[in-house]
Amino acid sequence: MSTQSNAISEPFQSQSITPAGIPATRVFYWAVRRELWEYRSIYVAPLAVAAVFLFAFSLSSIAGIWEKALRLNPARPQGPYDMAAGLMMITGIVVSVFYCLDALHGERRDRSILFWKSLPVSDLTTVLSKASIPLVVLPLLTVAISVAMQWLMLLVSSAVLLVSGMSVTMLWTNLSFVQMSLLLLYHVLTAHALWPAPVYCWLLLVSGWSRRAAFLWAALPVVAIAGVEQIAFHTWHFAALVGDRLIGAAAPTVVSTSPGMFPTDPMTHIAPGSFLSSPGLWIGLAIAAIFLAAAVRLRRYQGPI
């Protein structure tokens, strides 16, 4: 090809042809908004789960089921609040998995990829905007909704206590909301965004590659490797590894204290230093980057299916 002979003249041409382009950050912003338009479940699902939980919590508060937790357990007054946050994290994981499996598949299935590719948005921008949903948008949304829920729960509990003529002092003094929120933010960003990044990026890659049954193609290699490992060595290390990554349970984000302690427990000693210096994190991120690069390259070749 005559790329070299044109190399000199091209910068001049493109300068005269192209007006001041749109900043990459603005294009990225619109690419993310487009994802939120297409996949409304990203925010509808967590909000729906939160609404159902709040409704149930209000009912049970009025019925006095939480009374014990509210008043009689000063050692662990945050029980229901932890439950709310935990529920949001699980919802976030479920939504992320379903989103990733469809993100690069849906646009090929409905042929709209031809429209998206007719606009000056690069494959890199598109793939990164899709990856940002499980890695940035959903974690932040999870924290925001959890914190909002916890405040609403506190208001409901206070109202119930006041109406029944009891003091709310203990409830308000025993809960340190700011600390809980900050710990939650730390936990979600580390254990539910950075740690599972390779899993989400793998799902994105498969959704950009498979023609149908993306879930099957995503799960098949994991099942196959786990099966071979079980037959050969009678161990389940690989399956446990993938599971840990997805759930974020084994992420080395805290100095382990007592098993089963909730990550936003005030007694938790967070360990950002050891998390950021753990090889597991960086190996995972490197693998995630490889999967993303492959997805970008793949999208160039992909048309409607």
Is residue 75 part of the contact set for another protein (CB under 8 A)?
A: no
Q: What is the C-alpha separation between 43 and 141, in angstroms, rounded?
A: 8
Residue 91: in which H helix or E strand, if any?
A: helix 79-103
Quick one: which of 142, 148, 174, 139 has its CA closest to 69? 174
Report helix, strand and coil shares of the chain as percent, to nearest 5: 75, 0, 25
- Residue indicated by tokens 């494959």: 123
Q: In the complex, what is the shortest distance from the CB of residue 23 to another protein, in angstroms, rounded to a whole number?
A: 10
Binding range to another protein, per CB under 8 A, among 20-28, 76-84, 201-209, 252-260:
20-28
CB 101 within 8 A of CB 203: yes
Subset of 97-126 contacting another protein (CB under 8 A): 107, 110-115, 117-123, 125
Subset of 116-175 contacting another protein (CB under 8 A): 117-123, 125
Quick one: which of 100, 126, 99, 102 has its CA closest to 115? 126
- Show the binding pattern over residues 25-64: x = contacts another protein (CB under 8 A), - = does not: -xx-xxx-xx--xx--------------------------
Measured from the CB atom, is 26 or 211 closer to another protein? Answer: 26
Q: What is the C-alpha separation between 289 and 108, in angstroms, rounded?
A: 23
Q: What is the C-alpha separation between 98 and 113, in angstroms, rounded?
A: 19
Q: In the complex, what is the shortest distance from the CB of residue 125 to another protein, in angstroms, rounded to a whole number?
A: 8
Is residue 211 part of the contact set for another protein (CB under 8 A)?
A: no
**53 CA to centre of own chain:** 20
Interface residue with another protein, options 4, 17, 212, 231 (CB under 8 A): 17
Q: What is the C-alpha separation between 183 and 266, in angstroms, rounded?
A: 8
- Residue indicated by tokens 């950021």: 276
Binding range to another protein, per CB under 8 A, among 4-12, 41-49, 67-75, 85-93:
4-12
* # residues contacting another protein (CB under 8 A): 43
Measured from the CB atom, is 194 or 296 closer to another protein? Answer: 296
- Which spans of this chain sit near another protein (rule: CB under 8 A)? 1-3, 6, 8-10, 13-14, 17-22, 26-27, 29-31, 33-34, 37-38, 107, 110-115, 117-123, 125, 300-301, 303-304
